[in-house]
Amino acid sequence: MEVDDLYQDILLDHFKHPRHFQPLADGEVLVDEENPTCGDHIRLTARVENGRIADVRFDGKGCAISLASASMMSERMPGLTPDEARRRIADYVAFMRGEKELDEGTLGDLAALAGVRQFPLRVKCATMSWHAMDKALKKLGV
């Protein structure tokens, strides 16, 4: 199997079966984030318990890149402290903007999104949910 096909499969799997995707009640939405250039729209909620992120959930609609990256993001956040999460978010956003390289061990299945870096307009699709998570932490005051 070609590496590109493998990455394509990972992306499609997250897009078709996004993890932590669940319709949110209006009252629990912390961040409402849109990417008008593509039409992506997600809403996100998060919970912090005992100094660690206990839960991240989102709903919304968007392109495969935006939903797959939201799914991967929300898989990574639980268990992290807010500071660790902010560092991961900053590293990932810098990676997607081509400002920083990350090794494969750090990337894990996020490597499936690396190809998006060639398409500057789509980088927003791949980073939208990560910015939303950063804003959620701010709203939670952690």
Interaction site with Zn ion (CB under 5 A): 38, 40, 63, 66, 125
Nearer to Zn ion among residue 35 and residue 45 (C-beta): 35
Shortest distance, position 60 Cβ to Zn ion, whole Å: 11
Strand partners, 45: 57
Name the residue nearer to Zn ion (CB basis): 45 or 66. 66
Length of the chain: 142
In angstroms, the CA 67 to CA 87 distance is 21
CB of 121 to Zn ion, least distance (A): 9
CB of 84 to Zn ion, least distance (A): 27
Beta bridge partners of 33: 42
In terms of CB distance, is 53 or 125 closer to Zn ion?
Answer: 125
Q: Least distance in Å: CB of 91 to Zn ion?
A: 21
Q: Which of 75, 68, 45, 72 is nearest to 57 (CA)?
A: 45
Residue 7 vs 47, nearer CB to Zn ion: 7
What's the order of all strands across the beta sheet hosting 31-35? 31-35, 40-49, 52-61
Of 63 and 114, which CB lies nearer to Zn ion in the complex structure? 63
10 Å CB burial of residue 17 (0-12, 13-18, 19+) is exposed
Least separation in angstroms between residue 135's CB and Zn ion is 18
Give the span between the Cα atoms of 45 and 70, in whole angstroms: 12
